[in-house]
A and B are shown apart, each in its own frame.
Chain A
Amino acid sequence: MPQLQRQVFLGSIVVLLLIVGLLPLLSMLFKSMIIDGHFSLEAYRGLLASRHQWVLMRHSLALSSWVTLLTLLVGVPLGVILGKTDLPLRRTFAVLFVTPLLIPSYIVAVSWFDLLGSEGLLADLLGNPVAQMTNSFLFSLSGCVAVLFTIFLPIPMLLTMIFLRTIDPSLEEAGRLVSGWFGVLKGISIPLILPAVLLAAMLVFLLSFGEFSVPAYLRYDVFPVESFTQFSAFYHFQAATAAAVPLVAVTLLLLLAEALFLQEKTYPLRPSATIGRSMTIALGPYRKGVFVLITLLGFVIVILPIVVLLIESAGMDAYREALDRAGGSLLHSLYYAALGATLLTFVGFFVGYLIHHRTVRYWRMIDSVTIFLFALPGTVIGIGLISLWNTPWTNFVYATPMIIILGYLAKYTALTSRITAAQLAQISPSMEEAAQVAGAGWFRRMVLIVIPLSWRALLAGWIVGYLFSLRDTEITMLVYPPGYETLPVRIYTLMANGSPQLIAALCIIMISATLLPAALLWMLYHTMTTKEIK
């Protein structure tokens, strides 16, 4: 039986993924229908009967729709400008705009509170009446929308940038012969990347829908908050699950829509002969104006919030106290994130290989499963993990940091697998085929040819896995065993009674713990890439 090695190995990866990701959800669903040892839909009946639930649903939908609309309206043009024009400092801007996505989202909310809140910086500067207005702006739908907008803006921006680069340049060149850039973008480039834009829309919608920490902090009632409160404040498992089910349903529905409408529409990528060639839009007389505009946007939505935190936390005392009270959590965070990133890179690599080569029937299902888990609110994954592993026999998972790592693996594999699949698409299949005719079996081909050729994806995957594990708040907050909490969780609990100075200092520490290693790794990646080109 040829290909046995490969099938067994890849099969085990798939099984692992199903156990880590899907089994918890099934267990949760099952247990929510068993009350006092009998089958019962009581929890769901309670859910449907309550008018409050419909209010929550309306809130959730309003929040996600507004965030999606705004991020697309700004993110796609921003992606075009940063990805395709001759604007100076394009890369720097791109990195700048990505920053809010990399830190725990409620920290962004905290920084806006320190600026706009009733005791914030603005109150000091402009007096109380103004601060009252900005404060009520912040603690409402509009505040939630604004904060989540700054966090999710990089998603359409990045997808636009990436997919614009995959367009065969001759398609745009042909258009440029008969039309100006505006017409080419409108008639050719954007329609060609429409699937990516819609994918971005779907991701932003689902991520906002599942966002827990920001609405909770800004006291805007949405579904995930309800689910979390039922669970952690009242220990009411059935009600928590019942509140989680609409979240699962909406996620599934949207993904189904994506599968039906989008997957057939993806266009073939550019021929490899044209890689490296691409058309640049000369901004000409608009260059200065666009530069000022982008700088302003970057200043307001990224730099200002961080500066506010720095001002709020000024002085050594706050930092000393912060390290005193949360130093251990910081170490936990770094350690789990590194472990999570390593596992995510490994599993994601083989899932990506599987997706790219379609070696297992139902490969598309595996891809959909990882995307589903990524889009699913962390709260739901957390409740699922507890439901599955909280048994007397599985304490080795439930009572140890392993349950946190499993959560990362369940939620973020989509990131590393997609990165791998994208990289593999760049590598000519004849690379592996040539090794095969040379007599190399599957493991040898992987270790000697495919993995060395994919090192970029491995490194990029590790960085992304690290960042997302590190910023995770939702899953960790639900599942962490006593004594093993991470920094984002610790900050969140300290917010109840810590001074604003302390909280601001903790946020700055969290941001540094994210950005410093990311910057170092990015530099490593960069030097390695340029060295290879040389």
Chain B
Amino acid sequence: MMIVTMDDVSKAYKTTTILDKLSLGIKEGERVVLLGPSGCGKTTTLRLIAGFVAPDSGTVSIAGESVSRDGQIIKPPEERKVGMVFQDFALWPHLSVKENIEFGLKAKGIAKAKREEQVRKMLVVVDMDGYADRKPAELSGGQQQRTALARALALQPKLLLMDEPLFSLDQELNSRLRREIVLLQEKLGFTMLYVTHNRDEAFAIATRIVMMQKGRLEFDGSVAEAEYRLRQV
């Protein structure tokens, strides 16, 4: 079953084309990495799927239902049930770790007892129990990253979007968190669209790699195929 499909999606800002008739489908349980140089339109693709921007033409569907079409956002982000980890983490500085994670559960009107249980579970999953009452500013980079991940997963989204989530971390932490993200995905089974411009990171994480260049897809295949192709160039 397709979690996300993009059909002939185009997007331009003023006269500059950012995405050019992009089509992409992601199946349940996949870990797709969108790989491409800076400025090629990766973030724009994620924001189209999340519903922050509307495609000029083409359709975006989530779980078989059109959510954006031809310049119109049919379903706003808050109704799409996707999780997202932002490049700058976007942790709310005035809320504690616990409150950050709890926010979406509250918005959904989940009862307090159930909320607390879910928060505790998420804290354990990302190995952050003991930090519940800290403010984001009191966390290290890696801890902020884990908190952002826990927050994105708290509502058990079918799809998790990640925009260069390890970009601002140092090399060692970067490698460790790659493994953690993969383990977490295998454990929880959500579908993942992961954006990066770093090849090593892409290979470490993906089950499928999509390469992008100037707003077009130019490769879509397994990790092994991607490695073969890159060796040829």
Q: Is the interface of A mostly helix, strand, loop or mixed?
A: helix
Interface residues of A in 428-449 (CB under 8 A from B): 428, 430-431, 433-441, 444, 448-449
B86 touches A441 (CB 8 A): no
Q: Which of B101-109, B123-131, B169-177, B195-203 contacts A (4 or more CB under 8 A)?
A: B101-109
A430 touches B73 (CB 8 A): no
Contact status of A444 and B93, CB under 8 A, knowing A436-B78, A438-B151: no
Q: With contacts defined as CB atoms under 8 Å apart, how many contacts are there between chain A and chain B in the complex?
A: 71
Closest-CB distance, A448 to chain B (whole angstroms):
7
20 contacts between A and B (CB under 8 A): A2-B75, A2-B76, A428-B90, A433-B77, A433-B90, A434-B151, A435-B103, A436-B51, A436-B52, A437-B50, A437-B77, A437-B83, A438-B103, A439-B78, A439-B104, A439-B107, A440-B78, A448-B103, A452-B94, A453-B93
Closest-CB distance, B192 to chain A (whole angstroms):
15
Closest-CB distance, A8 to chain B (whole angstroms):
15
Q: Is A92 an interface residue (CB 8 A)?
A: no
B74 surroundings in chain A (CB, below 8 A): 2
Contact status of A437 and B84, CB under 8 A, knowing A2-B75, A2-B79: yes
Q: Is A527 an interface residue (CB 8 A)?
A: no
Interface residues of A in 261-290 (CB under 8 A from B): 272
Q: Is the interface of B mostly helix, strand, loop or mixed?
A: loop
B93 surroundings in chain A (CB, below 8 A): 453
Nearest B-chain residue to A449, judged by Cβ: B92
* Given A430-B86, A433-B86, 5 other A-B residues pairs in contact with their CB atoms under 8 A: A2-B75, A434-B92, A435-B92, A439-B107, A444-B107
Chain A, residues 65-101, CB within 8 Å of chain B (1/0): the string is 0000000000000000000000000000000000000
Closest-CB distance, A342 to chain B (whole angstroms):
22
CA distance A518 to B133 in the complex (A): 35
Q: Is B205 an interface residue (CB 8 A)?
A: no
CA distance A431 to B92 in the complex (A): 6
A2 touches B73 (CB 8 A): yes
Q: Is A3 an interface residue (CB 8 A)?
A: yes
B76 interface neighbour in A430, A436, A438, A452, Cβ under 8 Å: A436
B76 touches A3 (CB 8 A): yes
Closest-CB distance, B206 to chain A (whole angstroms):
22
B79 surroundings in chain A (CB, below 8 A): 2, 439
B81 touches A434 (CB 8 A): no
CA distance A438 to B82 in the complex (A): 8
Nearest B-chain residue to A448, judged by Cβ: B103
Q: Is B88 an interface residue (CB 8 A)?
A: yes
Closest-CB distance, A209 to chain B (whole angstroms):
37
B104 interface neighbour in A438, A452, A453, Cβ under 8 Å: A438
Nearest A-chain residue to B72, judged by Cβ: A2
CA distance A2 to B77 in the complex (A): 10
CA distance A449 to B50 in the complex (A): 19
B121 surroundings in chain A (CB, below 8 A): none
B104 surroundings in chain A (CB, below 8 A): 437-440
Nearest B-chain residue to A440, judged by Cβ: B107
CA distance A448 to B102 in the complex (A): 12
A437 interface neighbour in B78, B88, B91, B92, Cβ under 8 Å: B78
B84 interface neighbour in A434, A440, A444, Cβ under 8 Å: A434
Nearest B-chain residue to A434, judged by Cβ: B90
B154 surroundings in chain A (CB, below 8 A): 438
A430 surroundings in chain B (CB, below 8 A): 86-88, 90
Interface residues of B in 34-81 (CB under 8 A from A): 50-52, 73-81
The 7 closest A-B pairs by CB, nearest first: A438-B104, A430-B90, A2-B76, A440-B107, A436-B77, A434-B90, A430-B86
Interface residues on A, range: 20 to 34
A437 touches B103 (CB 8 A): no
B155 surroundings in chain A (CB, below 8 A): 438-439
CA distance A453 to B76 in the complex (A): 23
Chain A residues within CB distance 8 Å of chain B: 2-3, 272, 428, 430-431, 433-441, 444, 448-449, 452-453
A434 surroundings in chain B (CB, below 8 A): 84, 86, 90-92, 151
Closest-CB distance, A430 to chain B (whole angstroms):
3
Nearest A-chain residue to B108, judged by Cβ: A439
Contact status of A433 and B107, CB under 8 A, knowing A2-B79, A438-B155: no
B82 surroundings in chain A (CB, below 8 A): 437
Closest-CB distance, A439 to chain B (whole angstroms):
5
Interface residues of B in 110-161 (CB under 8 A from A): 151-152, 154-155
Nearest B-chain residue to A533, judged by Cβ: B137
Closest-CB distance, A117 to chain B (whole angstroms):
54
A438 interface neighbour in B73, B88, B107, Cβ under 8 Å: B107
Nearest B-chain residue to A453, judged by Cβ: B94
Closest-CB distance, B49 to chain A (whole angstroms):
10
CA distance A2 to B78 in the complex (A): 10
Nearest A-chain residue to B152, judged by Cβ: A437
Nearest B-chain residue to A433, judged by Cβ: B52
A436 surroundings in chain B (CB, below 8 A): 51-52, 76-78
A428 surroundings in chain B (CB, below 8 A): 88, 90
Nearest A-chain residue to B102, judged by Cβ: A438
CA distance A433 to B75 in the complex (A): 14
A441 surroundings in chain B (CB, below 8 A): 78, 107
Closest-CB distance, B55 to chain A (whole angstroms):
15
CA distance A484 to B162 in the complex (A): 60
Closest-CB distance, B64 to chain A (whole angstroms):
19
B88 surroundings in chain A (CB, below 8 A): 272, 428, 430
CA distance A433 to B80 in the complex (A): 13
Nearest B-chain residue to A430, judged by Cβ: B90
CA distance A436 to B88 in the complex (A): 16
B52 surroundings in chain A (CB, below 8 A): 433, 436
A438 surroundings in chain B (CB, below 8 A): 78, 103-104, 107, 151, 154-155
A440 surroundings in chain B (CB, below 8 A): 78, 103-104, 107
Contact status of A439 and B73, CB under 8 A, knowing A430-B86, A430-B88, A444-B107: no
Most buried by A among B77, B104, B108, B154: B77
Closest-CB distance, B161 to chain A (whole angstroms):
8
Closest-CB distance, B194 to chain A (whole angstroms):
16
B91 surroundings in chain A (CB, below 8 A): 434
Closest-CB distance, B219 to chain A (whole angstroms):
28
B86 touches A439 (CB 8 A): no
Closest-CB distance, B155 to chain A (whole angstroms):
6
Most buried by B among A438, A440, A444: A438
CA distance A435 to B103 in the complex (A): 8
Closest-CB distance, B160 to chain A (whole angstroms):
10
A431 touches B103 (CB 8 A): no
CA distance A477 to B208 in the complex (A): 73
B92 touches A453 (CB 8 A): yes
B107 surroundings in chain A (CB, below 8 A): 435, 438-441, 444
Closest-CB distance, B228 to chain A (whole angstroms):
36
Nearest A-chain residue to B100, judged by Cβ: A434
A439 surroundings in chain B (CB, below 8 A): 78-79, 81, 104, 107-108, 155
